Amino acid sequence: MGLLSGKTGAVIGASSGIGEAAAKLFAEDGAKVSVVARRTDKLNELVKTIRDRGGEAVAIPADVTVAADHARIVEETAAAFGGFDFAFNNAGTIGNFAPILEQSEADWDHTIDTNLKAVWMAVQTQARHMARNGGGAIVNTSSWLAVGALPGSAVYSASKAGMDGFLRAAALELATHGIRINNINPGGIDTKMTRDAFQNHADVLETFAAAHPIGRMGTPRETAQLAAFLLSDRASNITGQAMLVDGGYAIAGQRG
């Protein structure tokens, strides 16, 4: 029996990086997954990979900033698999990772809409369905930048800190409906987003990677493993937690 055997749900932000690794891992662990993002070609490739490996998956192209898409994700997942009992809300943007003096109102709106407002819309829609159908589990991808900072991270940090604040209130309310909700807060993970954030400054990226106490950035798969655990019944007593998965990066103190 896999960790997620018998579970049905969605991985949102599944077309690359952490979400793509999560969709593959959840399917290996026995879940039936809908994979959601804007890039349909990437989703179709992922569905094929999962099916070739004996798993069950469907693609649902959607944009998390569009309110109506959240209802469609839940409805289409439930129609495909007969239920919707977990969600991994992982879609996110680094936004314009620029000095605060150079950022625009549009930069703020894009990052907050994608990372924070979309999670509120997703959780509300998913939880309404789960509350009517015996409960469920939700995991959202926050960041170590909710509790830390880099030059240029002001709006991104605000969006992720907002997610952690939202989480705690949501967990209190949703517990009464049999729904657990947690955040994972990755440190530096080797994905396109990280490479974009460092704008291909290989030397700076190398220093950043080496500053993780484990000596490297995390992989998408080892990040997804925490999400799989939190979505599984093994985590039945865990809700409202924002959990670092960062190789010790956010531990404060002198290094070197």
Q: Which stretch binds ligand NAP (CB under 6 A): 33-41, 99-107, 122-130, 166-174?
A: 33-41
Q: What are phi and psi of 22, to 5 degrees?
A: -65, -45
Alpha carbon distance 35, 31 (integer Å) = 12
11 near ligand NAP (CB under 6 A): no
Cα-Cα-Cα-Cα torsion 185, 188, 194, 200, nearest 10 degrees, comes to 160
Measured from the CB of residue 238, what is the shortest distance to ligand NAP in angstroms? Answer: 20
Alpha carbon distance 244, 185 (integer Å) = 4
The only residue of 16, 44, 96, 103 in contact with ligand NAP, by rule CB under 6 A? 16
Measured from the CB of residue 104, what is the shortest distance to ligand NAP in angstroms? Answer: 18
The only residue of 3, 23, 33, 37 in contact with ligand NAP, by rule CB under 6 A? 37
Question: Whose Cβ is closer to ligand NAP: residue 91's or residue 170's?
Answer: 91
Residues contacting residue 128 through CB under 8 Å, at least 6 positions apart: none
Q: Which stretch binds ligand NAP (CB under 6 A): 49-57, 58-66, 76-84, 224-232?
A: 58-66
Is-contact 180 187, C-beta < 8 A?
A: no
Measured from the CB of residue 57, what is the shortest distance to ligand NAP in angstroms? Answer: 14
The only residue of 4, 8, 9, 17 in contact with ligand NAP, by rule CB under 6 A? 17
The only residue of 3, 155, 179, 189 in contact with ligand NAP, by rule CB under 6 A? 189
Residue of 81, 84, 156, 229 marked active site: 156
92 near ligand NAP (CB under 6 A): yes
- Region 134-153 residues binding ligand NAP, contact defined as CB under 6 A: 141, 143
Q: Which residue has the tokens 């994972």?
A: 184
Residues contacting residue 25 through CB under 8 Å, at least 6 positions apart: 221, 224, 225, 228
Give the full edge-to-edge strand order of the sheet including 179-186.
56-61, 32-37, 8-12, 86-89, 136-141, 179-186, 242-245
Alpha carbon distance 5, 31 (integer Å) = 5
Active-site residue 249, yes or no? no
Measured from the CB of residue 256, what is the shortest distance to ligand NAP in angstroms? Answer: 22
Total residue length of the chain: 256
Site of interaction with ligand NAP (CB under 6 A) = 13-19, 37-39, 42, 63-65, 90-93, 114, 141, 143, 186, 188-189, 191-194
Enzyme catalytic residues: 156
